[in-house]
Structure 1
Amino acid sequence: MDDADWDDTGAILRSRFFRTRHGHEGSQDSRLPEASNEVEKAIEYLSKVRGCKTPQESLRLAVRLGFYTGDDWARLFDEQPRCDDLVLDTSFLRVAETSWLEAGGVFWGSQIAPAISPIYEMSSTRSNASSSGSTSSQWTVKLSISSIDYKQLRLTGTMEAFTDAKTNIKTYFEGEIIDFNGHSLQTLTFASTLGDDANNWRKLDPFVCLSNHELVKCLVSRKFMKELNDRWLFLRIKELDFISPVPEADVGGLTIGGFYYLALRRDDGRIQGYYYDSQSQPFQELTLMPNKRLFPSYEFR
């Protein structure tokens, strides 16, 4: 992406393309390049800048984190348009409600565990349909929203995994809505590292087509972040308990120790995400579509 494209946020977002695997829109190859240290620092900056009280404090934070040097900032201030576009706080970002994500909403789709590399073996997978070395495994998933509070940035619901014709495993989850103020891309409530955050977020459709260098610039661009928030809604959800079978029952190796990084596309309600658990097979992709669109009800007098 050249400098002219950098000034056109819409062009950056419209340049997305979807990779396809097993006929699923947006499936990502787990061999995509890992996020750079600079991307990790940009995510950390977006998290910590929420506590900065002045622009100068924000600039010092960026320099201290090392993803921009003092000389870089000096050059940046020579380019006034780009300086004005720099994210120095996140108060301008707001998460609008969407009728795709309301209490009673139901999403259907699938989760794919990629083939396990012969040189990389994990202790468990999300499903008993585990890979046999060179083939991926896939199972149907149903996600239901029980409650959602946009003010508290919180949602609850259930997930059902249909791992074979006889097995239906249902779990209860809680989640957080990322508004870049109360919650940011850096995970603070569940067990992960900045590297885990960066590598999982950068695989999602809003970011996958950007190079690491482009992604760093976009994450600190007010225009990009505003349009990103207008077109996508980001979530983290974590399963907490088995509903059925009972916890003591055999659940076919399915684990709930990890959590999901998710992005909902506001245009059509499609959800794409990755399950992360340090003890499970990495980059298990979840893709869901809404069963129907929910609209608020009104009472006329």
Structure 2
Amino acid sequence: MPVRDEDASDIFSELVPQVLRSTEDRNEVTNRLRQVLSGWRRASDLLDPDDMMASCPASMDERDGLPSLHTLTTFRESCAATPASSQDFSPPEPCSYLRAGQVFCGNQRVNRMESSAAENWLVEIQVQDVDLRQGMAWGTSSWLLPNGEAPVETTWQGEIIDNCNHTFDTQKWGASHISDMKNWSKFSAFSELYMAGSILGSRCCRLKECSHIFMRWKEQAFAKSGDDCGLTIAGFYYICLCRQTGDVEGFYVDPLSLPNHKLTLKAVTAGAPAGMQSFAAFQFR
């Protein structure tokens, strides 16, 4: 259901005659129209109800699994009350789990066919290099398919959401602003930022202090695969990395594949069992 500002109809009734009368002030009228249109939102497109309600404050008004008009407009108005120029759009701080050599192990839930049960593929991700100045990361992936004789290996390139080099707007790979918001909102950490009014356009004014790092991973090529592995690398992953635990959640999006491909990983030390992480120890004398 469309959600709009309560005073939108009054502004439209004022602007429409101006447009019909004269075009001299077209730029001014256009800007005012854009301000009105920016108040319109499709709540069902921006946030999945289940994911959103799981992370929203308990005091939120609920109607058919969606936030009320009053709730959404309150968050938008509180955010708009502070000029964007005074917001802090600093990039995120470095993270010990996002570094060259870091390994993540876990699985990906995959639906090959609508009628078939979901499969869990074993996955190992290794970060090869990170460049925070450019907001980039590179790495390799190893996938062990059910009944597969050998792992399928790919290379990937990652974009770190840093407000500078990369924002929450993908602007490629077939993604739109609506699909971006819908998929980012599957992460509870993003939903909390959005509902707190921290997401302004495609940037986040609390990214520097956020407890999670958001990324996009795009596989570039197959490094090793069978003659007919049946896999595609046409899509990309929305990624959310927890700074404290090193846990990774990801959602694979590809128009040619079935939805609900969820990636779940834990940080490990190379060669250690899944879920185990070690750090260097120092002693001062």
Query: TM-score normalised to the size of structure 1?
Result: 0.60
SS across alignment from 1:235: strand
Output aligned runs, 1:226-241, within 5 Å: 226=206, 229-241=209-221
Relative to structure 1, the CA distance from residue 65 to residue 142 in structure 2 (aligned partners, 3 Å threshold; closer, same or farther) is: farther
Please give the per-residue CA displacement for 1:28-71, whole angstroms capped at 9, x wherever unaligned: xxxxxxx9899xxxxxxxxxxxxxxxxxxxx97972652369xx
The yes-or-no answer on 1:167 pairing with 2:150 is yes
CA contact (8 A) 1:110 1:138 kept: yes
Q: Which residue matches 1:136? A: 118
CA distance in 2, matches of 1:230, 1:281: 31
CA contact (8 A) 2:198 2:206 kept: no
> Which of 283, 291, 297 is matched with 2:260 structurally?
283
Q: Which has the higher strand share?
A: 2
- Displacement of 1:289: 0.6
Output aligned runs, 1:212-291, within 5 Å: 215=195, 217-220=197-200, 225-226=205-206, 229-245=209-225, 249-291=226-268
Q: Which residue matches 1:111? A: 108
CA contact (8 A) 2:93 2:208 kept: no
CA contact (8 A) 1:113 1:131 kept: no
Relative to structure 1, the CA distance from residue 89 to residue 200 in structure 2 (aligned partners, 3 Å threshold; closer, same or farther) is: farther
- Displacement of 1:113: 2.1
Q: Which residue matches 1:67? A: 39
CA distance in 1, matches of 2:242, 2:127: 16
- Displacement of 1:171: 0.2
Relative to structure 1, the CA distance from residue 82 to residue 209 in structure 2 (aligned partners, 3 Å threshold; closer, same or farther) is: closer
Structure number with greater CO (CA < 8 Å, separation at least 6) is 1
Q: Which residue matches 2:17? A: none
Please give the per-residue CA displacement for 1:194-242, whole angstroms capped at 9, x wherever unaligned: 22212211111314579xxx63844249xx8416752110100101110
> Which of 181, 185, 196 is matched with 1:202 structurally?
185
**Identity between Structure 1 and Structure 2 (%):** 28
- Displacement of 1:88: 4.6
SS across alignment from 1:206: helix
Please give the per-residue CA displacement for 1:84-122, whole angstroms capped at 9, x wherever unaligned: 5454576532211111110001000111125xxxxxxxx
Q: Which residue matches 2:175? A: 192
Counterpart amino acid of 2:152? I
SS across alignment from 2:129: strand
Relative to structure 1, the CA distance from residue 209 to residue 281 in structure 2 (aligned partners, 3 Å threshold; closer, same or farther) is: farther
CA contact (8 A) 1:94 1:229 kept: no
Q: Which residue matches 1:41? A: none
Rg larger in 1 or in 2? 2
Number of equivalenced pairs: 215
CA distance in 2, matches of 1:144, 1:61: 48
Counterpart amino acid of 2:177? L
Relative to structure 1, the CA distance from residue 231 to residue 269 in structure 2 (aligned partners, 3 Å threshold; closer, same or farther) is: same
CA distance in 2, matches of 1:153, 1:296: 26
Relative to structure 1, the CA distance from residue 62 to residue 229 in structure 2 (aligned partners, 3 Å threshold; closer, same or farther) is: farther
Is 81-90 or 183-192 further displaced after alignment? 81-90
Relative to structure 1, the CA distance from residue 170 to residue 216 in structure 2 (aligned partners, 3 Å threshold; closer, same or farther) is: same
CA contact (8 A) 2:136 2:157 kept: yes
Counterpart amino acid of 1:264? L
CA distance in 1, matches of 2:239, 2:247: 10
